[in-house]
Structures are given as C-alpha cells and as structure tokens.
C-alpha cells in the first residue's frame, strides 16, 4: 500500500485520537469498581500508545484483509492479542516487571493475554471498523491539511516530551532496581562488613525506586519478577525492623 504525505498525517492523527480514546476507556473500565477514573498509562499525558497502534493495525491491516464482520472480529481478536503479548514480553525483559497480569483470569497465556480481553479487542475491532472509523474519516477529510499538520505538530511536541521524560524516569527506576537486586544478592555471600555496606547501598537504591515510580501509578495489576520482588521486600523488611 502506497501512502501519500496527507494519508500518513491522517494515520498519525488517528493514532493520537485512539491513544486518547483508549486512555479514556481503560481509565473508566479499571476505575468502574472504584467509582472513579484511574489514569492507567505510563505517561503524564492522556494517551496510551498501545491502543493507538492497535487501532492502526485494525484500520490499515485488518480491514483491508476483509470487511466481513466475522473476519474483522477474528483478525482483531488474534492480531491485537499478539501485539499485547509481545509488548508485555518486551517490557518484562527490559524492566523486570509484568506490567499487566491476567493470571487470575480464565484462559490466560502466561498472564499476558486472556480470553476476556481478547474478546473485547475483537468487539472493539467491530466498533472501530463499522462505527467510529467511518465517522472519523468524514470528519478528518474536512480538516484542511495545513491545519491538520499544525494540530499534529503541537501534539508531537507534548507527546515526544512526555515519552522522553517518562523513559528517563523508567530507566532510572530500572537501574536502581537492578542495583538493589545485585547488592542484596552479593550481601548473601559477603562478610559482615561488606554486608553492611551493600545493604546501605540497597537502601539508597530503594529510595531512588520510590522517588521514580510515577509511571507505575495506574498499573494496578503489575508485579515485579519474583527474584526482584524478594530483593525489594528484603530491603523494606530491614528498614521496617530498624524503625
């Protein structure tokens, strides 16, 4: 498929809209039982990019394959689930954390995807293909191209700044977590004096973790890998015993 500059700009606009829409829907869904909206994204801004990418997948890959409602549902069901699984796997590999955990849901795969959510993605594919996207196409086609470029330039400034600052925070959090884990593991086999020094370093790492965890605020079902969780709990236990 060949894209013109205008078509690419429209796709970018759809990415922004659906990233925002996903943020709203997920925030309402997660916050329903708490009777309040929950910001479930990594970022400061109102966007969850995985939903934007998922919707682009529906618009530009799934829909061209077939507009049969059953096939749209089926393709959205499995393709977006693959996207979710790969994203979860990658984030865990990099940050030692399962960012969403469906282990308590029936028919889940390694806690990364589950039947309920995949079914919801299939239904979302139908809503987007036959409901939202035709309306958005008509609306966006009426926006003059220079205006569309201006809108997306403003979005890019805020979005890129948010992504950059959040990634810096996540990297600081990751390094502190890895250092804490290394220090605790080393302390297990070290002499008494070395143990004290390593534990003090681990305590400093924990302080860094606690001060750089804003991006975790909405991840209500996230959990650390077991070995890292044990190291963090060990340091917290030491601090509690001191107090």
The string of pLDDT tens digits covering residues 95-127 is 999 888 999 999 999 999 999 999 999 999 999
Write down the pLDDT at residue 35. 79
Q: What is the dihedral of CA 142, 147, 149, 152, to 10 degrees?
A: -90
- Compute the C-alpha angle 231/232/234, nearest 5°: 65
DSSP string covering 128-183, please?
Answer: IIIIIHHHHHHHHHTS-HHHHHHHHHHHHHHHHHHHHHHHHHHHHHHHHHHHHHHH
Based on DSSP, count helices (H) and strands (E) in the chain, helices before strands: 9, 4
* 50-101 confidence digits (pLDDT tens): 999 999 999 999 999 999 999 999 999 999 999 999 999 999 999 999 888 9
Task: Say whether pLDDT at 212 is over 90.
Answer: no
Give the number of C-alpha atoms closer than 13 A to the C-alpha of residue 180, restricted to the C-beta side.
26
**pLDDT bracket for residue 220 (50, 70, 90):** low
- Does residue 85 contact residue 111 with C-beta atoms inside 8 Å? no
Which residues have CB under 8 Å from 129's CB, separation 6+?
58, 59, 62, 63, 67, 72
Report the percent of the chain where pLDDT is more than 70. Answer: 97
Report the percent of the chain where pLDDT is more than 90. Answer: 71
**Least reliable range by pLDDT among 22-31, 75-84, 117-126, 226-235:** 22-31
Query: How does the average pLDDT of the chain come out, rounded?
Result: 91
Specify the pTM: 0.88
Write down the pLDDT at residue 2. 61
Write down the pLDDT at residue 161. 97
* 132-154 confidence digits (pLDDT tens): 999 999 999 999 999 999 999 99
Task: Please list, residue by residue across 168-180, b when 16 or more beta carbons sit within 10 angstroms of its beta carbon and e when fewer do.
Answer: ebbeebbebbebb
Q: Residue 121, exposed/middle/buried by CB under 10 A (0-12, 13-18, 19+)?
A: buried
Which of these, 21, 33, 26, 7, lies nearest to 218 by C-alpha position?
Answer: 26
The residue-averaged pLDDT of 1-23 equals: 90
Write down the pLDDT at residue 218. 67
Write down the pLDDT at residue 38. 78
Which residues have CB under 8 Å from 155's CB, separation 6+?
16
Most confident of 23-37, 40-54, 69-83: 69-83
């Amino acid at each position: 498929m060949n894209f013109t500059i205008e078509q690419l700009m429209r796709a970018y606009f759809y990415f922004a809209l659906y990233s925002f829409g996903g943020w709203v829907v997920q925030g309402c869904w997660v916050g329903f039982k708490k009777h309040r909206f929950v910001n479930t994204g990594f970022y400061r801004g109102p966007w969850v990019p995985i939903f934007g990418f998922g919707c682009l997948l529906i618009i530009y890959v799934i829909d061209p394959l077939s507009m049969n409602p059953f096939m749209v549902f089926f393709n959205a069901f499995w393709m977006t689930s693959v996207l979710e699984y790969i994203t979860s796997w990658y984030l865990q590999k990099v940050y030692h954390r399962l960012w969403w955990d469906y282990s308590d849901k029936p028919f889940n795969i390694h806690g990364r995807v589950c039947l309920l959510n995949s079914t919801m993605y299939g239904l979302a594919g139908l809503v987007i293909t036959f409901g939202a996207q035709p309306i958005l196409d008509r609306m966006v086609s009426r926006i003059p191209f220079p205006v569309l470029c201006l809108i997306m330039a403003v979005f890019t400034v805020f979005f890129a700044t948010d992504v950059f600052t959040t990634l810096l925070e996540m990297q600081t959090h990751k390094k502190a977590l890895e250092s804490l884990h290394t220090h605790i593991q080393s302390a297990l086999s070290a002499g008494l004096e070395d143990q004290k020094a390593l534990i003090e370093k681990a305590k400093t790492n924990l302080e860094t973790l606690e001060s750089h965890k804003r991006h975790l605020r909405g991840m209500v079902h996230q959990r650390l890998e077991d070995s890292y969780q044990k190291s963090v709990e060990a340091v917290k236990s030491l601090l509690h015993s001191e107090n």
